[in-house]
C-alpha cells in the first residue's frame, strides 16, 4: 500500500499550544497541527519547520520527533503517516495566512469538536513531551478503530531499605 508522509508540528508555550484552523484542503474547517505533505528531497524535520513558518509565521530552529500517527480511510488504498514534532522555542508572532488561521489554546480548552476525532487519543501525550505511536481507521469522517501505545510505565520505585531478617534459631 502506498504510504503518504505528512510532517506535522506542535508548538507549545507553557500551558498553551498553537493550532491552525484550515481554510481549505482536506482538513478544511478543522483545527490541526501545522503541516502538510512531504515534498521530494526534504527531510521530515525541515518540512515540519517550513510548514510552521508558511502557515503561522513562526520560526523554530529545532523540534523533537515525538510521534507517529497512522491513519487509514476505508476504501482508500493509502496509509497516511503523520510524523509529529514538538517545539517549545520559537521566534515571531502568529499571523493569519491565506490557508490557515493560527491561535493559541490552553491545553484544557482544545476545540475538540472541530478537530479530527483521532487527535484527543494522542494529543496530551505529545503536549506532555511523551512519545506516542498510534493507528486509526476512519470510514469517511467517523473513527472506527483506534490503537494507541500506552504511555511508558512509571520509573521503578526507589529500592526500599531491606529490613534485616530475623535469624531463626537453629
Ligand atoms: C485524518 N486524521 C488526521 N488526524 C490528525 N491530523 C491530521 C489528520 N489529517 C490531517 N491532519 C493534519 O492536518 C494538517 C493539514 O493537512 P491537510 O488536511 O492534508 O491539508 P493540506 O492543505 O496540506 O493538504 P491538501 O491540499 O488538503 O491535500 C496537517 O498538519 C496534517 O498532518
| CATH at residue 67 | 3.90.79.10
For residue 107 the three cell numbers come to 491545553
In-domain check, residue 141? yes
In-domain check, residue 143? yes
Indicate whether residue 123 lines ligand 1 (CB < 6 A): no
CA of 30 to the centre of ligand 1 (A): 9
In-domain check, residue 155? no
The confidence score (pLDDT) of residue 152 equals 61
In-domain check, residue 144? yes
Ligand 1: residue whose CA is nearest its atom 11: 32
In-domain check, residue 98? yes
- In the chain, the number of structural domains is 1
CB 45 within 8 A of CB 85: yes
| Residue among 20, 33, 35, 98 whose CB has most ligand 1 atoms within 8 A, to mutate | 35
Indicate whether residue 66 lines ligand 1 (CB < 6 A): no
| Residue among 19, 22, 26 whose CB has most ligand 1 atoms within 8 A, to mutate | 26
User: What is the position in ligand 1's atom list of the atom closest to the CA of 99?
Assistant: 22
In-domain check, residue 6? yes
Domain assignment of residue 58, given as a range: 2-148
Complex ipTM, two decimals? 0.89
In-domain check, residue 54? yes
In-domain check, residue 169? no
CA of 4 to the centre of ligand 1 (A): 11
Query: What string of H, E and C letters represents the secondary structure of the chain?
Result: CEEEEEEEEEEEECCEEEEEEECCCCCCCCEECEECCCCCCCCHHHHHHHHHHHHHCCECCCCEEEEEEEEEECCCCEEEEEEEEEECCCECCCCCCCCEEEEEEEHHHCCHHHCCCCHHHCHHHHHCCCCEEEEEEEECCEEEEEEECCCCCCCCCCCCCCCCCCCCCC
pLDDT (tens place) for every residue of the chain, 170 residues total: 999 999 999 999 999 999 999 999 999 999 999 999 999 899 999 999 999 999 999 999 999 999 999 999 999 999 999 999 999 999 999 999 999 999 999 999 999 999 999 999 999 999 999 999 999 999 999 999 999 996 666 677 776 666 666 766 66
The confidence score (pLDDT) of residue 154 equals 67
CA of 80 to the centre of ligand 1 (A): 9
C-alpha neighbours within 13 Å on the C-beta side of residue 87: 25
Provide CB contacts within 8 A for 9, sequence distance 6+: 33, 34, 35, 48, 49, 51, 52, 60, 63, 84, 85, 86, 87
Amino acid at each position: 500500500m502506498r504510504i503518504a508522509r505528512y510532517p506535522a508540528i506542535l508548538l507549545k508555550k507553557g500551558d498553551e499550544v498553537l493550532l491552525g484552523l484550515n481554510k481549505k484542503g482536506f482538513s478544511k474547517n478543522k483545527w490541526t497541527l501545522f503541516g502538510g505533505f512531504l515534498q521530494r528531497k526534504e527531510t521530515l524535520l525541515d518540512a515540519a519547520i517550513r510548514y510552521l513558518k508558511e502557515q503561522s509565521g513562526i520560526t523554530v530552529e529545532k523540534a523533537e520527533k515525538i510521534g507517529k500517527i497512522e491513519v487509514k480511510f476505508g476504501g482508500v488504498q493509502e496509509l497516511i503517516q503523520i510524523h509529529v514534532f514538538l517545539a517549545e522555542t520559537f521566534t515571531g508572532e502568529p499571523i493569519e495566512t491565506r490557508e490557515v488561521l493560527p491561535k493559541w489554546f490552553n491545553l484544557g480548552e482544545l476545540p475538540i469538536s472541530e478537530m479530527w476525532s483521532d487527535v484527543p487519543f494522542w494529543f496530551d501525550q505529545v503536549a506532555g513531551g511523551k512519545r506516542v505511536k498510534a493507528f486509526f481507521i476512519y470510514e469517511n469522517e467517523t473513527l472506527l478503530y483506534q490503537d494507541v501505545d500506552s504511555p511508558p510505565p512509571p520509573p521503578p520505585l526507589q529500592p526500599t531499605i531491606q529490613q534485616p531478617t530475623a535469624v531463626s534459631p537453629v
